């Protein structure tokens, strides 16, 4: 294969059509987070680059003709924040032993724990070769430039298997996703729950919307700048409570809305009369609803569950979407119908001693994740007769 990998400092330096032909060749599996428009909005808003600790260094595989065969969203990192696959323990141990863990290479979508393709290749008979070439180039760049390693996070299970076969260390974790079994209404879904869970869900929804609260769904061009202003207030309130300084800024949401993936944006607002008091932001891609952010300026019992989980299920049923992915962590999602689903990452550590220690850790961790997923699935809210169908 006569092709070479180039490193580019801005996704804008790659033609959008060429990037997207690799990232999303099939509408049915469209993933908005690896689309050119989403990654460019992050860069243009200044949420990555500069002094953020996320330095874009995207990988682009080019044929001799100049045609782009594959690409990957890649960053040199000076910290481990905003990744949601935690390696703080590895970093601390290595630095205590006198090593330099940062900078490292991260192939990922910043601040976005959403599974999807990471080594983006044009479909065709040579796609496996393109993927292998990108992975080999990432390892080579890390070793030549003195980076501690390569971390490819929230990739697909297929990529995980193939890259594991190429020698990258494999890691698993779990999220909680909801599957649509062809429900016609939310009540159809409720009918599959155990009696107590069905009553709990109805009670939570009633309390969440007590006092006359209503919920409005807005998608794509229906979302105005005033709506983004309102939601950003909610986003900042949640961010300041949870992690001090939110990763995204107000400019990002405007740029995203105006981008090629703007129609994928879905905003849900909870209103008391004409005034929005809370809201959740989601994105739609292919047959999936991706939950992202939420916030509120009034305390209302169970409003978080309503806006992030129940309304998402309602929307997915109404629009015949196959699943809802509700983001990272959160065993509280289990009682709301979201079942454990494994997520995947692969890693290459340059230092052999650290690599051996990490490999031993990952072997035990994978076993623990398997056991946890099995145990949690048994504790799901569904009637036992339908648990298997919902898994």
The residue out of 321, 351, 385 marking a domain boundary is 321
> Is the N-terminal amide bond of 74 cis, ω within 30° of 0?
no
CB-based contacts of 82, cutoff 8 Å, min separation 6: 54, 110, 111, 247
Best CA proximity match to 171, nearest among 343, 340, 330: 343
Per-residue burial over 145-177, b if 16 or more Cβ lie within 10 Å, else e, is eebbbbbbbbbbeebbebbeeeebbbbbbbbbb
Classify burial at 344, counting beta carbons within 10 Å of its beta carbon; exposed 0-12, middle 13-18, buried 19 or more. Answer: buried
Give yes or no: residues 231 and 302 share one domain: yes
Cα diameter, the chain: 66
In 10 A of CB 52, how many CB atoms? 18
What is the predicted pLDDT for the residue at 330?
A: 85
Regarding whether 166 and 187 lie in a shared domain, the answer is no
286 and 358 inside one domain: no
Sheet with 68-72, edge to edge strand ranges: 3-8, 58-63, 68-72, 120-121
State the total domains in the chain: 2
Same domain, 275 and 316: yes
Q: Is position 387 within any domain?
A: no
**Residues 160 and 292 occupy one common structural domain:** no
- What pLDDT does 146 receive? 97
Q: How do residues 301-335 score in pLDDT, each as one tens digit?
A: 999 999 999 999 999 999 999 999 999 878 999 99
Domain match, 9 and 123 both:
yes
Gyration radius from the chain CA atoms: 21
pTM of the model: 0.95
DSSP 382: B
> Whose CA is closest to 168, among 184, 187, 149, 183?
149
Give yes or no: residues 193 and 278 share one domain.
yes
Q: Residues 6 or more apart from 379 whose CB is under 8 A from it?
A: 334
**What does the block give as tokens for 116?**
């999807």
**Does 33 fall in a domain?**
yes
Q: What share of the chain is helix, strand, coil (3-state, %, to 5)?
A: 45, 25, 30
Would residue 212 count as lying in a domain? yes
Q: Is 236 helix (H, G, I), strand (E, B) or coil?
A: helix
Residue at 303 is within a domain: yes
Q: What is the pLDDT of residue 1?
A: 67
Q: Does 188 share its domain with 315?
A: yes
Q: Are residues 185 and 159 in the same domain?
A: no
The CATH number of whichever domain residue 61 belongs to comes to 3.40.630.30
334 domain-assigned = no
pLDDT at 2: 84
Would residue 383 count as lying in a domain?
A: no
- Domain match, 132 and 49 both: yes
Tens place of pLDDT for every residue, the chain, 391 residues? 689 999 999 999 999 999 999 999 999 999 999 999 999 999 999 999 999 999 999 999 999 999 999 999 999 999 999 999 999 999 999 999 999 999 999 999 999 999 999 999 999 999 999 999 999 999 999 999 999 999 999 999 999 999 999 999 999 999 999 999 999 999 999 999 999 999 999 999 999 999 999 999 999 999 999 999 999 999 999 866 665 678 999 999 999 999 999 999 999 999 999 999 999 999 999 999 999 999 999 999 999 999 999 999 999 999 999 999 999 878 999 999 999 999 999 999 999 999 999 999 999 999 999 999 999 999 999 998 644 344 3
Domain match, 316 and 224 both = yes
Q: How would you label 33-50 residue by residue, b for 16+ Cβ within 10 Å and e otherwise?
A: bbbbbbbbbbbbbebbbe
Residue 89, number of CB atoms within 10 A of its CB: 11
Residue 72: strand, helix, or coil = strand
Residue with tokens 């809370």, as numbered in its chain: 278
pLDDT, one tens digit per residue, over 85-104 is 999 999 999 999 999 999 99
In terms of residue numbers, what domain contains 129? 3-175+341-377
257 with 231: CB under 8 angstroms? no
- Compute CA distances 379 → 193, 304, 326, 384, 388, whole Å: 12, 22, 18, 10, 12
| Domain assignment of residue 333, yes or no | no
The strand pairing partners of 175, in sequence order, are 328, 341
Q: Is residue 286 part of a domain?
A: yes
pLDDT at residue number 388 = 38
Question: Do 32 and 171 reside in the same domain of the chain?
Answer: yes
């Amino acid at each position: 294969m006569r092709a070479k990998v180039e490193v580019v400092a801005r996704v804008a330096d790659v033609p959008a059509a060429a990037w997207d032909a690799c990232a999303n060749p099939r509408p049915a599996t469209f993933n908005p987070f690896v689309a050119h428009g989403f990654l460019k909005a992050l860069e243009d808003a200044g949420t990555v680059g500069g002094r953020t600790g996320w330095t874009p260094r995207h990988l682009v595989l080019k044929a001799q003709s100049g045609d782009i065969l594959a690409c990957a969203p890649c960053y040199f990192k000076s910290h481990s924040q905003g990744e949601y696959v935690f390696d703080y323990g590895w970093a601390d141990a290595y630095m205590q032993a006198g090593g330099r863990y940062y900078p490292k290479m991260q192939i990922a979508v910043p601040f976005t724990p959403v599974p999807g393709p990471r080594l983006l290749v044009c479909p065709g008979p040579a796609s496996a070769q393109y993927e292998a070439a990108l992975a080999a180039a990432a390892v080579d760049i890390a070793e030549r430039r003195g980076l501690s390693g390569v971390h490819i996070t929230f990739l697909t299970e297929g990529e995980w298997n193939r890259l594991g076969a190429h020698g990258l260390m494999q890691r698993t974790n779990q999220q909680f996703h909801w599957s649509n079994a062809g429900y016609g209404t939310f009540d159809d879904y409720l009918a599959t729950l155990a009696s107590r869970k069905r009553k709990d869900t109805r009670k939570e929804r009633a309390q969440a919307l007590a006092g006359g609260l209503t919920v409005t769904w807005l998608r794509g061009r229906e979302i105005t700048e005033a709506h983004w202003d309102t939601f950003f207030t909610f986003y900042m309130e949640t961010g300041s409570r949870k992690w001090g300084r939110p990763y995204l800024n107000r400019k990002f949401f405007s740029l995203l809305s105006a981008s090629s993936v703007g129609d994928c944006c879905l905003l849900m607002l909870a209103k008391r009369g004409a005034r929005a008091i809370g809201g959740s932001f989601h994105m739609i891609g292919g047959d999936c609803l991706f939950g992202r952010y939420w916030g509120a300026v009034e305390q209302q019992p169970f409003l978080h569950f309503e806006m992030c989980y129940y309304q998402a299920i309602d929307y997915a049923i109404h629009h015949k979407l196959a699943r809802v992915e509700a983001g990272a962590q959160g065993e509280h999602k289990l009682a709301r119908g979201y079942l454990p689903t494994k997520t995947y990452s692969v890693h290459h550590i340059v230092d052999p001693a650290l690599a051996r220690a990490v490999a031993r850790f990952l072997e035990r961790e994978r076993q623990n994740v398997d056991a946890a997923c099995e145990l949690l699935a048994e504790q799901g809210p569904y009637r036992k007769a339908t648990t298997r169908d919902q898994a």
